[in-house]
Amino acid sequence: MMVFATLLLSYFLVTAGIIYDIIVEPPSVGSTTDEYGHHKPVAFMAWRINGQYIMEGLAASFMFSLGGIGFILLDLTNKPSMPKLNRILMLLCSFIFILIAFFTTKIFIRIKMP
C-alpha cells in the first residue's frame, strides 16, 4: 500500500506541473477586472494553453487522480470473494468518480481552449 501511495502522490505532483511551477514560479491564482473596475480572482488562465496558475494545475491533477482511482476501484470489483453489496457500492463509486473527473476535465479544457 505504501508503494501505491507513493506512486499516486508522484503522479499527482507530476500532472500538477510541479516542475513548471518551480521553474516559472507562477502565482497561485490570477485576477481579472470586471466592467465596474473591481478585481476578481480567477483560478484558470483562460485562453492560454502553455501557461497555468498553481491552483489550476492542482485542480486538474486532482481530477486526473480521481479518474485513475475510479478505474482502480472498477478493477477491484472483479474479485470473486467480494460480497454483492460491496461490489455494487464500488461500481457506483467508480462510475461516479470517472464521470466527475471526465466532465470536470472537459470543462477545464473548454476554459483553456479558444
Q: pLDDT by residue (tens digit) across 27-84?
A: 989 899 989 989 999 988 888 888 889 999 999 999 999 999 999 999 999 999 999 9
Strand partners, 49: none
Instruction: Give which of 63, 48, 52 is closest to 27, Cα–Cα.
Output: 52
The residue-averaged pLDDT of 84-103 equals 97
| 74 vs 98: CA distance, rounded Å | 10
Is the pLDDT at 114 greater than 80, yes or no?
Answer: no
- Look at the alpha carbons of 96, 16, 59, 52 in this order and tell me if their dihedral is positive or negative: negative
pLDDT at 16 (0 to 100): 92
pLDDT at 47 (0 to 100): 87
The label of the residue with cell 455494487 reads 88
Residue predicted with more confidence, 114 or 60: 60
pLDDT at 1 (0 to 100): 78
Give the start-to-end residue ranges of the domains of the chain. Answer: 2-112
pLDDT at 49 (0 to 100): 83
The phi, psi pair for 41, rounded to 5°, reads -75, 145
pLDDT at 48 (0 to 100): 85
